[in-house]
Structure 1
């Protein structure tokens, strides 16, 4: 076991380097980098005031060469690309994710600021999905082929087929606009700090209800059908027939014999789903409900070519994904001791 874990940890290093190198190379060929955006702002500013808002823009001559050199040095583009990549990897090895070009904040600070929104959306989606999907999948497996199974399958698949942002628009129009039962934007009210403990809880749940509903609707289908198929596969095995032949009730057969084996593929996915909930980037939902989370941060950093944010968050999320995958694999041994990594 120790040798397997050490091998997996060592394999993470070339994987991380490969992901960072590929992204870094692509970035070098993407037009409209930070320097170009600076020049565009200088030209726009020159049209409305003296010297382009302090950017030393000189009309057709462009920006002063000395000033342009300073800007390139500020963004680190005065060095060759290989040197910049090695420097970036060295920073990431110390878990220094750098500083945003445009927001004048450390990438760690930006992630910490946006994380509460993503945690709220991700964790509620995770818990509600599993609390409903697993019991529903078990009920569908026990009643396979019945009217209940057919109706719930249709409902679940319809929910899966409707995109989350489309459902979000409908919820906003009906419950936020026409009926005005829920707020249209934000995670809390402006007077949130003035409320008592219960008032804060109610206000938070009031704001989070619509975006979580929009995200949860499509999350039921996969877990529900996985649970159903897993239970059906176990129910049809020989040991279940033997248990029934010994006179055990259906409840005993289901909960004492089938349950543990059938939940193996579901339980082993818990670490990835749970950790992923902290970094769920629901861009469209966040934009629709005006929630400033990691999804919106990632999108804006790509649009603005804020490379430290793009590469820093990529490094962090890739590392967390690799560690989570390792934990998921180790859960197989915890759930089913028959699994051997050799």
Structure 2
């Protein structure tokens, strides 16, 4: 087991290196980088000043600034953003800082990438954890009920509803919910934006919890509606597979009750795929943000941060968050694989490695 963990940890290094290398190379060819943006801003400022001076009957330096920047100014801008060094050297410096978990400083927000993640994280955590809990609380019991009532009208009707929910994009459902319940054209039941009311600081602990749930109702519903369809069908198929196995038939032949068979035998084996994927799902719920949902409901989370960083070409934020989330994803995958060993004694990674 220890040998397998060490191998997986070592395999994370080339994976992280490959992700960062490909992303860094792509960034080099994307037009409109920070240097270009600063040049355009200075040219526009010079053009505006030139127009003002011309209308006042003067001309000179401002008009010259509108034509372009000097080599010295351009060199200063490149030095400011670190583009005075060749690309391989910049990539090497980035890897060295990432090795010590120094994700760098944002070029436009005047804050470290770590600080930005820490500031935006509570919003994405609120959405992610609420969505995860609601998804499991609905999908797992529904999947079990569908497996027990396989082929019934209940099974057919719920499958139809699941497919409809799965087919509707979350942002479309979010717009519908806002129109219906956000005071768009019908009822003003839930707030339109944000996660806290104006009087948040004055509320009690229970009041703050209720206020947070009130603000989360619409965005979480929009995120969950299509998300639990796959988990429900996974639960159903997993239980159906176990129900028809030989050990269930043997237990029934020995006179065991259906309740005992379900709780002592079927549940433990059928829940294995659901429990194993839980660590990865928890990490994803903590650290991923939904761009469309956060934009639609005016929630300043990680999804919106990533989108704005890409648009503004804030490369330290883009690469820093990519590195952080990729590392967490690899750790979550490792925990999921280790969960197989802990929950199913038949799985032995060490034995498999020795045979191979």
TM-score w.r.t. structure 1 length? 0.96
Q: Is 1:42 aligned with 2:42?
A: yes
Q: Distance in 2 between matches of 1:251 and 1:186?
A: 46
Q: Is 1:100 aligned with 2:106?
A: yes
Q: Distance in 2 between matches of 1:81 and 1:118?
A: 33
CA deviation after TM superposition for structure 1 residue 50, in Å: 6.6
Of 304, 319, 331, the residue aligned with 1:311 is 319
Of 258, 261, 264, the residue aligned with 1:256 is 264
Q: Is 1:241 aligned with 2:252?
A: no
**CA separation of 1:174 and 1:57: change in aligned 2, threshold 3 A:** farther
Q: Distance in 2 between matches of 1:292 and 1:47?
A: 35
Q: Distance in 1 between matches of 2:231 and 2:328?
A: 22
Q: Is 1:86 aligned with 2:87?
A: no
Q: Distance in 1 between matches of 2:271 and 2:310?
A: 39
Q: Deviations over 1:70-129 (max 9, x none)?
A: 111110000000000000000000100000111111000100111011000000000000
Q: Is 1:168 aligned with 2:177?
A: no
Q: Distance in 2 between matches of 1:151 and 1:58?
A: 72
> Is the Cα–Cα contact under 8 Å of residues 43 and 66 in structure 2 kept in the other structure?
no
Q: Distance in 1 between matches of 2:7 and 2:63?
A: 55
Residue 242 of structure 2: SS of its match in structure 1? helix
Q: CA RMSD of the aligned region, Å? A: 1.6
> Is the Cα–Cα contact under 8 Å of residues 283 and 332 in structure 2 kept in the other structure?
yes
Q: Distance in 1 between matches of 2:237 and 2:63?
A: 66
Q: Deviations over 1:3-56 (max 9, x none)?
A: 10001101111110111001000111111100001111112222333799xxx8
> Is the Cα–Cα contact under 8 Å of residues 97 and 106 in structure 1 kept in the other structure?
yes
Q: Distance in 1 between matches of 2:12 and 2:206?
A: 45
Q: Distance in 2 between matches of 1:280 and 1:24?
A: 21
Greater Rg over alpha carbons, structure: 2
Q: Distance in 2 between matches of 1:50 and 1:105?
A: 34
Of 185, 190, 213, the residue aligned with 1:205 is 213
Q: Deviations over 1:176-203 (max 9, x none)?
A: 0221111101111122112222221221
**CA separation of 1:105 and 1:160: change in aligned 2, threshold 3 A:** same
Is there any run of 5+ residues in structure 2 with no aligned partner, and where? 53-61
Residue 48 of structure 1: SS of its match in structure 2? helix
CA deviation after TM superposition for structure 1 residue 279, in Å: 1.5
Match of 2:58 in 1: none
Q: Distance in 1 between matches of 2:64 and 2:174?
A: 48
Q: Is 1:113 aligned with 2:119?
A: yes
Residue 234 of structure 1: SS of its match in structure 2? helix
> Is the Cα–Cα contact under 8 Å of residues 240 and 253 in structure 1 kept in the other structure?
yes
Matches within 5 A, 1:149-188: 149-177=155-183, 178-188=186-196
TM-score w.r.t. structure 2 length? 0.93
Q: Distance in 1 between matches of 2:261 and 2:63?
A: 79
Match of 1:28 in 2: 28
Of 135, 140, 144, the residue aligned with 1:134 is 140
Figure out how many residues of one structure are paired with residues of the other and give that number. 340
Match of 1:337 in 2: 345
> Is the Cα–Cα contact under 8 Å of residues 42 and 57 in structure 1 kept in the other structure?
no
